[in-house]
């Protein structure tokens, strides 16, 4: 063969092999989650991306409801819409799939330049089977619910029924296979598998088949020393569920059963198209270790995350839906879900100011997204003004963060962001910044002026750009600095405090803050977030 032929052959081989790397499963362009030093980034187009999300109401994924959904997304300055897709609609006839609503969502999201997180409402929706197709609901023998401790019916599907699990996996795989073909642009960033799975009203299934399983041995996957340790059990424990887990056996067994089922469904979808996938959870009080009978048992609550990890490796993360009533509980939840093996993502929370403040903490943890629930007006036609008013607390945060989102996502991933939120005691909080210590004083007097009642809503975020250089973002607080470490006690001053805004990733100066705007205890933040760029020196 002549040299020229060999060269042509080599070029053809290179082109063919590089062509295959342009397929949608290309790890360079697929949305994917990476981890470094226990922090995470969701890579979109190969770069860290923070989902400024909003979730539509449960029944708003229908074409006639979408105009108000997009109105809300726009009013919020969101970059991602979380929206349900429904098993009952997609597979109304067994084995016949209708992806028309999915296609409408893809098309409209692209028109609005918004990413999607699709929520697969299937076997479990808030613990019930209500989104199963009619043909399944009509066949309670083949697709049973669980049985309560006294034999009573419970409105929650059985995780022990292989027929339902296989049907769900088949339908979900069809959805993911369709997405692979229909979404070359990667409009969809992640998929939530089911919705708040588990069971209300019964800690587990007490059917004959479940009773038999729980009397058997704990599966080997759970008997690994690190998992047993995380569940406060001796590293060599083995035996039946009751022998290994004692009083927690019922809940742990149910968590294992639900997670195994969903892990199977997720794996079937991932085999078609490996987008990041997660499960969302209704929470328990993370501070008081309440009995499982008081919350939705079987879901990925903070005490059973390691069981979910072992049972459902196809899921990339367990995500908390934060609606708990107090700041202390929410902060604890964020701490418990931000684990090296679990990227922090808040797929549901309230849209009012007392919840909006937690986005600062999620960014600081190196999390990947935040999303208030129920952003559209659920058919009430609130109009543009009503929508903007309803979403104003979160909208003002997103308006500031969106144009600097890529930078913030990167800084969060690199561990450069620290954040504090006003706690229920409203006490000042300090942030260690190496050569400096910042103290954030929350301004509850101004909080009253903006009529927030008695809620603690203030927060501050500090990005450390250099030893003496910081970006400060916050509301209703004041940030003061003092030299720390070997510089403790030294005289110091602000070299410059700039105030401005990011526009398309570029910082635009509004003014230099000085005089009254930095003296008297450091820069103040009002009820609308500001972005300051501060440089400090010691003398
Ligand atoms: C949590 C669920 O996950 C959502 O789908 C919705 O039902 C909300 N609760 C309602 O507050």
**How remote is the CA of residue 115 from the centroid of ligand 1, in Å?**
21
192 lines ligand 1 (CB under 6 A): no
376 lines ligand 1 (CB under 6 A): no
Pairing of strands 153-157, 145-147: antiparallel
Ligand 1, residue 280: give the atom nearest the CA. 3
349 lines ligand 1 (CB under 6 A): no
Q: What is the mean pLDDT of residues 398-417?
A: 97
Pairing of strands 524-525, 317-322: unpaired
196 lines ligand 1 (CB under 6 A): yes
User: What six digits make up the tokens of 295?
Assistant: 């919350």
How would DSSP label each residue in 451-468? T-TT----EEEEEEEETT
Nearest CA to ligand 1 atom 8: 373
**How remote is the CA of residue 269 from the centroid of ligand 1, in Å?**
24
User: What six digits make up the tokens of 119?
Assistant: 């929520």
Residue 338 confidence (pLDDT): 98
Average per-residue pLDDT for the chain = 93
402 lines ligand 1 (CB under 6 A): no
82 lines ligand 1 (CB under 6 A): no
**How remote is the CA of residue 192 from the centroid of ligand 1, in Å?**
13
145 lines ligand 1 (CB under 6 A): no
User: What six digits make up the tokens of 178?
Assistant: 């369709």
Residue 39 confidence (pLDDT): 96
More confident residue, 435 or 2: 435
Residue 335 confidence (pLDDT): 98
Ligand 1, residue 195: give the atom nearest the CA. 3
**How remote is the CA of residue 126 from the centroid of ligand 1, in Å?**
7
* Angle value at C-alpha 525, between 520 and 529, nearest 5 degrees: 165
Task: State yes or no: pLDDT of 141 exceeds 70.
Answer: yes
- Which of 57, 58, 345 best tests ligand 1's pocket when mutated (most atoms within 8 Å of CB)? 58
Task: State yes or no: pLDDT of 416 exceeds 80.
Answer: yes
**First CA to last CA distance, the chain:** 75
Convert the pLDDT of each residue in 462-512 to its tens digit. 999 999 999 999 999 999 999 999 999 999 999 999 999 999 889 999 999
Report the length, in residues, of the chain.
Answer: 539
Eight-state DSSP code of residue 477:
E
Convert the pLDDT of each residue in 188-220 to its tens digit. 999 999 999 999 999 999 999 999 999 999 999
The residue whose two tokens read 């005289």 is 491
Q: What is the mean pLDDT of residues 288-299?
A: 98
72 lines ligand 1 (CB under 6 A): no
More confident residue, 451 or 439: 439
Nearest CA to ligand 1 atom 5: 58
296 lines ligand 1 (CB under 6 A): no
Convert the pLDDT of each residue in 246-286 to its tens digit. 999 999 999 999 999 999 999 999 999 999 999 999 999 99
**How remote is the CA of residue 341 from the centroid of ligand 1, in Å?**
26
Convert the pLDDT of each residue in 99-123 to its tens digit. 999 999 999 999 999 999 999 999 9
Cβ distance 255 to 318 under 8 Å?
no
**How remote is the CA of residue 395 from the centroid of ligand 1, in Å?**
21
199 lines ligand 1 (CB under 6 A): no
- Which of 195, 281, 296, 325 best tests ligand 1's pocket when mutated (most atoms within 8 Å of CB)? 195
Residue 11 confidence (pLDDT): 42
Convert the pLDDT of each residue in 7-51 to its tens digit. 444 443 343 333 332 333 444 589 999 999 999 999 999 999 999
Nearest CA to ligand 1 atom 2: 126
**Packing angle, helices 162-182 and 249-272, rounded to 10:** 40
Q: In whole angstroms, what is the distance from residue 498 CA to residue 482 CA? A: 19
187 lines ligand 1 (CB under 6 A): no
351 lines ligand 1 (CB under 6 A): no
Ligand 1, residue 196: give the atom nearest the CA. 3
* Alpha carbon distances (Å) from 113 to 81, 107, 187: 11, 10, 9
- Which of 126, 278, 349, 350 best tests ligand 1's pocket when mutated (most atoms within 8 Å of CB)? 126
pLDDT band at residue 381 using 50, 70 and 90 as cut-offs: confident
Residue 444 confidence (pLDDT): 57
User: What six digits make up the tokens of 294?
Assistant: 């008081």
pLDDT band at residue 325 using 50, 70 and 90 as cut-offs: confident
Phi, psi of 434 (to 5 degrees): 80, -105
**How remote is the CA of residue 373 from the centroid of ligand 1, in Å?**
7
**Segment holding 529, helix H or strand E:** none
321 lines ligand 1 (CB under 6 A): yes
pLDDT band at residue 432 using 50, 70 and 90 as cut-offs: very high
Residue 1 confidence (pLDDT): 46
Taking the model in full, what pTM does it have? 0.94
Cβ distance 240 to 287 under 8 Å?
no
Residue 101 confidence (pLDDT): 98
- Which of 125, 193, 350, 373 best tests ligand 1's pocket when mutated (most atoms within 8 Å of CB)? 373
Residue 505 confidence (pLDDT): 87
Which has the minimum average pLDDT: 23-32, 142-151, 355-364? 23-32
194 lines ligand 1 (CB under 6 A): no
**How remote is the CA of residue 57 from the centroid of ligand 1, in Å?**
8
55 lines ligand 1 (CB under 6 A): no
Percent of the chain scoring above 90 in pLDDT: 89
Where do the DSSP E strands lie in 2-141?
Answer: 32-36, 39-44, 47-49, 51-55, 80-86, 115-125
In 105-136, which positions are buried (b, 16+ CB within 10 angstroms) versus exposed (e)?
bbebbeeeebbbbbbbbbbbbbbbbebbbeeb
- Which residues face 461 on adjacent strands? 419, 473
Which has the minimum average pLDDT: 75-79, 82-86, 396-400, 504-508? 504-508
195 lines ligand 1 (CB under 6 A): yes
131 lines ligand 1 (CB under 6 A): no
**Segment holding 83, helix H or strand E:** strand 80-86
User: What six digits make up the tokens of 18?
Assistant: 């590089």
pLDDT band at residue 454 using 50, 70 and 90 as cut-offs: low
Convert the pLDDT of each residue in 233-243 to its tens digit. 999 999 999 99
Task: State yes or no: pLDDT of 313 exceeds 60.
Answer: yes
pLDDT band at residue 52 using 50, 70 and 90 as cut-offs: very high
């Amino acid at each position: 063969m002549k040299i020229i032929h060999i060269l042509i052959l080599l070029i053809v081989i290179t082109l063919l092999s590089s062509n295959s790397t342009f397929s949608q499963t290309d790890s360079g362009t697929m949305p994917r989650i990476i981890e470094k030093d226990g922090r995470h980034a969701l890579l979109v187009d190969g770069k860290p991306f923070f989902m400024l999300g909003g979730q539509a109401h449960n029944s708003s994924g229908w074409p006639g409801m979408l105009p108000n959904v997009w109105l809300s997304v726009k009013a919020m300055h969101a970059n991602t819409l979380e929206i349900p897709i429904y098993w009952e609609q997609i597979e109304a006839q067994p084995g016949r799939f209708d992806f028309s609503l999915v296609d409408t969502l893809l098309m409209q999201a692209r028109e609005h330049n918004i990413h999607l997180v699709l929520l697969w409402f299937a076997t479990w929706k808030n613990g019930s089977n209500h989104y199963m197709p009619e043909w399944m609901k009509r066949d309670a023998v083949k697709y049973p619910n669980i049985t309560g401790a006294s034999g009573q019916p419970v409105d929650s599907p059985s995780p022990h029924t292989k027929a339902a699990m296989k049907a769900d996996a088949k339908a979900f795989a069809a959805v993911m296979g369709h997405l692979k073909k229909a979404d070359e642009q990667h409009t969809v960033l992640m998929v939530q598998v089911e919705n708040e799975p588990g069971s209300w009203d019964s800690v587990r299934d007490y059917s004959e088949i479940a009773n038999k399983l729980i009397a058997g041995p704990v599966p080997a996957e759970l008997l690994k020393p690190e998992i047993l340790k995380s569940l406060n059990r001796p590293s060599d424990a083995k035996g039946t569920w009751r022998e290994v887990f004692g009083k927690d056996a019922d809940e742990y067994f149910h968590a294992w059963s639900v997670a195994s089922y969903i892990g199977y469904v997720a794996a079937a979808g991932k085999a078609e198209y490996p987008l990041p996938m997660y499960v969302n959870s209704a929470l328990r009080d993370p501070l008081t270790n309440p009995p499982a009978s008081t919350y939705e048992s079987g879901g990925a609550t903070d005490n059973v995350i390691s069981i979910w990890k072992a049972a459902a490796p196809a899921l990339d993360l367990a995500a908390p839906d934060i609606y708990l009533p107090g700041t202390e509980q929410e902060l604890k939840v964020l701490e418990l879900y931000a684990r090296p093996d679990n990227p922090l993502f808040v797929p549901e929370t309230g849209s009012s100011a007392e919840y909006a403040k937690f986005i600062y903490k999620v960014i600081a943890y190196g999390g990947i997204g935040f999303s208030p629930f129920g952003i559209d007006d659920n058919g009430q036609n609130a109009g543009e003004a009503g929508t903007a008013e309803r979403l104003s607390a979160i909208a003002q945060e997103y308006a500031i963060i969106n144009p600097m989102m890529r930078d913030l996502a990167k800084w969060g991933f690199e561990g450069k962001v620290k954040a504090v939120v006003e706690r229920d005691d409203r006490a000042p909080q300090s942030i260690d910044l190496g050569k400096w210590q910042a103290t954030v004083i929350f301004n509850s007097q101004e909080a009253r002026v903006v009529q927030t009642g008695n809620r603690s809503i203030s927060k501050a975020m500090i990005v450390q750009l250099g030893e003496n250089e910081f970006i400060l973002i916050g509301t209703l607080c004041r940030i003061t600095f003092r030299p720390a470490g070997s510089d403790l006690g030294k005289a110091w001053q602000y070299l410059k405090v700039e105030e401005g805004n990011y526009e398309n990733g570029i910082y635009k100066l509004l003014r230099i803050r000085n005089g009254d705007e930095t003296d008297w205890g450091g820069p103040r933040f009002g009820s609308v977030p500001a972005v300051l760029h501060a440089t400090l020196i010691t003398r």
